[in-house]
Amino acid sequence: MNEKQATSHIMLVDGMALLFRAFYATSITGHFQINSKGIPTNAVSGFLKHMLTAVSSFNPSHLAVCWDMGSKTFRSELYTEYKGNRGEAPIELIPQFDLVKEVVASFDIPNIGLVGYEADDCIGTVAKALKDDMKVSILTGDQDILQLLEENISVVLLKKGFGNYQVHTPDSFYEEKGITPRQMIDLKGLMGDPSDNYPGVKGIGEKTALKLLQQFESIDGILENLNDLSKSHRTKIEQSLDMLHLSRTLAEIKCDVPVSCSISDSELRYNRNKVINMLDEVELKGIHRYLADEKEYA
């Protein structure tokens, strides 16, 4: 690794994870921060606080934000019930989807997203593309992204409040789960994911799934050794083979999506006055103090 690689660090932000977290943290009390134009700004404000606090804490040299681009994706085409347990977005959040991208753009930070894919897929694609050239960290509240962990890719999980994080590496993940990050895909294939509304193998929970993966390494390994399983586990898996394979496909983050992020475009050097003008226009109060000093940015 050359000197540039040693010092360059891109943080990929899971935009939706931060935006939803920020919205629900304040909307529960009815505090939507509606500006003079009648537009709620509570989610955008909280998003910026999360993002800028992380920038201050981890000091990345580069930054990009990835977004979902609508609810219809290749996963919902494969399984119509995918995320079918989620209701419509709250009416106060809807106008903030476009607004937050406009505010991010004022920092000259790339907004990345592609119709038909989720933010996770864009994050995975960009992370894998840049990992040989620079350190990559992913800022999110979503543990699904832990499957992307590898030597030069870490995951920064948001904890309660602002500035509280759990940083995961492949080693810390293995210590916690007893499996590798890539095995997490098969783990979710077996146990399913209630939050994304797919079942995996009915009757197989996390404890059993972990035990099977530690013994047989993968779903393929389990299927090759079905006769070594207990009758109960074998029967459950045999009765759910189609859903097992489908759940695994739904769980896997695609890392070959046609999106890109250039190193030069993602360099974190924003025009402070331009950002302040945007904050003032949107009437986002209390964000100025999170901005870097004049001496750090133009």
Give the chain's domains with CATH numbers: 3-171+254-290 (3.40.50.1010), 177-251 (1.10.150.20)
Q: Which two tokens stand for residue 84?
A: 């079918």
The pTM assigned to this predicted structure is 0.94
What pLDDT does 13 receive? 98
Q: Which two tokens stand for residue 67?
A: 């977004």
Which strands form 135-140's sheet, in the order they lie side by side?
Answer: 111-112, 62-66, 9-14, 135-140, 153-158, 165-168
Indicate the pLDDT class of residue 293, thresholds 50, 70 and 90. Answer: low
CB neighbours of 163 closer than 8 A, spacing ≥ 6? 53, 57
Indicate if the pLDDT at residue 297 is higher than 90.
Answer: no
What pLDDT does 1 receive? 41
- Looking at the chain, the whole-number percentage of residues with pLDDT higher than 90 is 89
| Cα atoms found within 13 Å of the Cα of residue 234, Cβ hemisphere only | 8
- DSSP per position, 235-264: HHHHTTHHHHHHHHHHHSPPS--S----TT
Indicate the pLDDT class of residue 298, thresholds 50, 70 and 90. Answer: very low
Q: What does the alpha-carbon distance between residue 288 and residue 251 come to, in Å, rounded to a whole number? A: 39
Indicate if the pLDDT at residue 267 is higher than 90.
Answer: yes
Mean predicted confidence (pLDDT) in 147-175: 96
What pLDDT does 67 receive? 98
Three-class SS of residue 272? helix
Burial 58-92 (b: 16+ CB within 10 A, else e): bebbbbbbbbbbeeebebbeebeebbeeeeeeeeb
| Cα atoms found within 13 Å of the Cα of residue 224, Cβ hemisphere only | 8
Tens of pLDDT, residue by residue over 58-112, are: 999 999 999 999 889 999 999 999 998 888 899 999 999 999 999 999 999 999 9
Q: Write phi, then psi, for 274 (nearest 5 degrees).
A: -60, -45
Matching residue, tokens 């077996």: 190
Q: How far apart are the first and last CA of the chain?
A: 30
What pLDDT does 210 receive? 97
Whole-number CA gyration radius for the chain: 21
Q: What does the alpha-carbon distance between residue 258 and residue 141 come to, in Å, rounded to a whole number? A: 24
What pLDDT does 132 receive? 96
Q: Do the beta carbons of residue 48 and residue 284 sit within 8 Å? A: yes
Q: Comparing 60 with 162, which gets the higher pLDDT?
A: 60
What pLDDT does 88 receive? 87
